[in-house]
A and B are shown apart, each in its own frame.
Chain A
Amino acid sequence: MALLNYLKEYRSRMGINQTELGRMAGVSRQTISLIERGDYSPSVTLALKLAKICRVTVEDIFEYSEEEDS
């Protein structure tokens, strides 16, 4: 996966579970779980929503890695 993410860390910092974060972002718990595991790259809209909920920038949560892509 070229897209690394720190969503789990930010969620833990906020002290909420996947269900709660999913509810806040308007997606299912499974989707949050897939993003955290790196099995799903969210849309720009969802990434922005998640960043807004966590009160950070998208780049703080998601990191694009060139090395792993090649």
Chain B
Amino acid sequence: MKTTDKSIKKTNSYLRMGIIMLTFAAVGAVIGFVLINILYGNINGIKTGFSGAVSQIQQFMVPLLLAIMAVSVIYGEVNLHKLKLIGKMILQTEDEECDKWDYEEEKTGAWGTAVNVLSQIACILVLASGYSLKYIEDEHHVNMLAACVIFLACYSYDGLWSVRFVKTIQNIHPEKKGDPSSKNFREQWLQSCDEAEKEIIYQSAYKSYSRTNQWLPALLGITMLGHLFFDTGIMAVITTAAIWLIVTVSYLHSCVVLKRAKLRE
């Protein structure tokens, strides 16, 4: 009975995988058909549209970067102030009441970090639109220089914010160790976490790995189609493929190293 159950389960898994692959193939075929028959005739129009969008961003590069920096600074300061107040509450309250503030601390820290990273990504995207010799040579070099200065200022603020964020958390929880400017910071931080905190970190890390492995193949497909139809550049395809490979190999390497370490023990 057990063997039959196992074989049914196995068949179902193969069948399900086959259906998934067929579905993706069908979706790919439909997308290909649509792109070739409907969009291909307008491909130059789409390319012009993209170039237009990039030139619009180029035109407003300085105010856009200023806006990103303003949002980053205002949100960063409000976030740190809120975190300090939460820290005070954590130190003043006990047991069940403190659980609520611990959650608030986690949530506020997560929002702050997310906005910080988002600001860095937005800065790069906006500045990247100006990376064109044509744009710089067309008497826009002052604009580009100003954009670079704002970009550096914003990036410096974001970097310093990360250090201040870690220091704030360390003030609330003095047991948390690690120098945020050190390249071994993550390792030092993990060392200072207890077993329950480590479990949360490991679970979150595995979830991120799983999600990354779901998104990267899709992104690779998008960058590949983008390059095929809109000439968006092979670099995007190579970069996405490299990230996928690095993430997978890092995970597998870590698993093997940990198993080997257990074997030696």
Could you tell me which A residues sit within 8 Å of B by CB distance?
17-19, 26-31, 33-35, 40, 42-43, 46
Contacts and interface: CB of A to CB of B under 8 A. Distances in A.
Interface of B: 94-96, 98-99, 102, 173, 175, 194-197, 199
B199 A28 contact: no
Nearest to B196: A31
A18 B97 CA distance: 11
Contacts of B199: 40
Contacts of B197: 28, 30-31
Contacts of A35: 196
Given A27-B196, A31-B196, 10 more contacts: A18-B95, A18-B98, A19-B94, A28-B175, A28-B194, A29-B98, A30-B197, A33-B96, A40-B196, A43-B195
Nearest to B192: A28
Contacts of A19: 94, 98
B185 to A, nearest CB: 19
Contacts of A43: 195
Interface of A is mostly: helix
B94 A18 contact: yes
Per CB-CB distance, the 3 closest pairs between chain A and chain B, nearest first, are A31-B196, A27-B194, A17-B94
Contacts of A46: 195
A34 B196 contact: yes
Contacts of A26: 194
Contacts of A40: 196, 199
Contacts of A30: 99, 102, 196-197
A17 B95 contact: yes
B194 A31 contact: yes
A55 B175 CA distance: 26
Nearest to B96: A33
A17 B175 CA distance: 18
Nearest to A35: B196
B104 to A, nearest CB: 13
Residue with the greatest number of chain A CB neighbours at <10 A, chosen from B98, B175, B196 = B196
A31 B99 CA distance: 11
20 contacts: A17-B94, A17-B95, A18-B94, A18-B98, A19-B94, A26-B194, A27-B196, A28-B196, A28-B197, A29-B98, A30-B99, A30-B102, A30-B197, A31-B196, A33-B95, A33-B96, A34-B196, A35-B196, A42-B195, A46-B195
B175 to A, nearest CB: 7
A28 B175 CA distance: 8
